[in-house]
Structure 1
Amino acid sequence: MLIFIKTIKLNQLNLTLTDISKRYGSHTVLAFDEWKIDSGIYWLKGGNGTGKTTLFKIISGQTPFDGTVLLNQISLKKQANDFRSRISYAEAEPQYPLFITGKELLNFYAAIRKASQKDINTLTDLFEMTAFLDQKIGGYSSGMLKKLSLICAFIGDVSLYIFDEPLITIDTASTDKLYRLIIEKSGQGKSFLISSHQEIDAAKLTVDGVFVIENRKVVIC
């Protein structure tokens, strides 16, 4: 059993995974008794194929699994809508319909998450995407697509942000902006789970805990 506890923060968050098992066919990817974190910024490091994406997809309700996931005592399986409304998940390789524009995608997220246009404009300006929003997503570069996915992830008010490899395909300037936005949101009591096989710049972003997946279990570094 692994428990990582830190100082209580505003808008306290408790995420608990219990008796987790996930298989793809005969291959077991994850199998552990318990993993628990509270409010903060956490880095799940490690190379491809270690189970980072699978873990994040479990927590965000994107893939079936055996076990229990609770966010502030809200069950993913029993109270799925309530649970998912408190989480924002950005995939490592985002995939959106290629025939819609960036603006149409953001309008969809705004409607679902009841976000203001002012907040969305602030995000698109920050990541320098405003000029490209009328273009179809099929014409976006990988870097533009990644920035669009990060903008989508920050739309609305959630408790936990889950970012799978957010540093890939974006430039240094965008990475610095992402770090600053994470710090800003953390100061508002929001929490983050970030996976990356790249090193997070400790001078720009302080994390509260670092984990890896070893032998299908999540362990602290």
Structure 2
Amino acid sequence: MLALKSFRKSFGDNLVLDIPELNFAPGIHWVKGKNGSGKSTLFNCLAGLSPFTGEVVLNDVNLHKSPQAYKLRLNYSQSEPTFPEFLSGSDLLDYFAQLKQALPEQVSELKQSLGISDYADRPSGTYSSGMLKKVSLAIAFLGQPDWIILDEPLITLDKEAQDLIAELISNNSQAGTSFIFATHQDFENTKIKANHSYEVNNKTVSIIS
């Protein structure tokens, strides 16, 4: 269970999100909402990248009280990832593999399956947006997370890469990993079906199915 209680996020005096209580049960969850509604802001907070007030608890681990333990259990791929341009894809994957306690074999497998190996040793500053997205998505699957959050996982990817991501989600879901994702594209296909859908609107999150 990923639980939010008395969750509030503001930028200065501007209240962006106000969620009294929200519980994500294990499974696959699709979060919808217009641009600027607060989806990415919510995800950044859940990933521990942006401050907020209130509580976020993954099973028995509180993000504020035990951030390191929490972040071992939850991985995140941003909508438009950015990395230091001098670091290569291999550098980034090796660094996050250490943080996420991932085995080298897993890094190699993700590189191969997502087609990163061909450019992994080049500086990320030379990558296209699609290349950067694949590296970010590979990082999100490192280790043994209980939850993976994917913000717009399909943008900038070709059809083949989209199918690979769908297969990764399906395989990991069957192995017990839960997912929260946001996308403007139809992500429900023969391999993936969300258990619940939500909408971010009017500064809160409501379940719609």
Please indicate the TM-score interval, normalised by the length of the shorter structure: over 0.9
Q: Quick check: 1:215 aligned with 2:202?
A: yes
Instruction: Tell me, yes or no, if the aligned pair for 1:209 and 1:220 is still in contact at 8 Å.
Output: yes
Q: Quick check: 1:23 aligned with 2:21?
A: no
Instruction: Tell me, yes or no, if the aligned pair for 1:48 and 1:197 is still in contact at 8 Å.
Output: no
Alignment of 1:40-79 (within 5 A): 40-79=27-66
How many residues end up aligned between the 2 structures? 208
Alignment of 1:82-93 (within 5 A): 82-93=69-80
Aligned counterparts of 1:55 and 1:200: Cα–Cα separation in 2: 20
Q: Quick check: 1:203 aligned with 2:190?
A: yes
Q: Deviations over 1:83-119 (max 9, x none)?
A: 1111101111111110111111111122222222221
Please name the residue that 1:35 is paired with.
22
Instruction: Tell me, yes or no, if the aligned pair for 2:4 and 2:57 is still in contact at 8 Å.
Output: yes
Q: What code does the residue aligned with 1:140 have?
A: Y
Aligned counterparts of 2:182 and 2:57: Cα–Cα separation in 1: 20
Q: Quick check: 1:177 aligned with 2:164?
A: yes
In the alignment, structure 2 segments of 5+ residues that lack a partner are none
Q: Quick check: 1:101 aligned with 2:88?
A: yes
Q: What code does the residue aligned with 1:57 have?
A: N
Aligned counterparts of 2:67 and 2:88: Cα–Cα separation in 1: 29
- TM-score in terms of structure 1 length: 0.91
Q: Quick check: 1:150 aligned with 2:137?
A: yes
Instruction: Tell me, yes or no, if the aligned pair for 1:76 and 1:83 is still in contact at 8 Å.
Output: yes
In the alignment, structure 1 segments of 5+ residues that lack a partner are 1-13
3-state SS of paired residue (1:192): strand
Identity of matched residues, % = 37
Report the alpha carbon displacement of residue 204 of structure 1 after superposing the two structures with TM. Answer: 3.5
Q: What code does the residue aligned with 1:26 have?
A: D
Instruction: Tell me, yes or no, if the aligned pair for 2:90 and 2:120 is still in contact at 8 Å.
Output: yes
Report the alpha carbon displacement of residue 214 of structure 1 after superposing the two structures with TM. Answer: 1.7
Aligned counterparts of 1:30 and 1:135: Cα–Cα separation in 2: 39
Aligned counterparts of 2:99 and 2:57: Cα–Cα separation in 1: 23
Q: Quick check: 1:139 aligned with 2:126?
A: yes
Aligned counterparts of 2:67 and 2:96: Cα–Cα separation in 1: 18
RMSD: 1.1
Instruction: Tell me, yes or no, if the aligned pair for 1:176 and 1:204 is still in contact at 8 Å.
Output: no
Aligned counterparts of 2:59 and 2:80: Cα–Cα separation in 1: 29
Instruction: Tell me, yes or no, if the aligned pair for 2:33 and 2:201 is still in contact at 8 Å.
Output: no
Aligned counterparts of 1:201 and 1:183: Cα–Cα separation in 2: 11
3-state SS of paired residue (2:83): coil
Q: What code does the residue aligned with 2:161 have?
A: S
**Structure 1 ranges of 4+ moved more than 4 A:** none
3-state SS of paired residue (1:201): coil
Q: Deviations over 1:35-73 (max 9, x none)?
A: 001100101012210100111111111111111111102
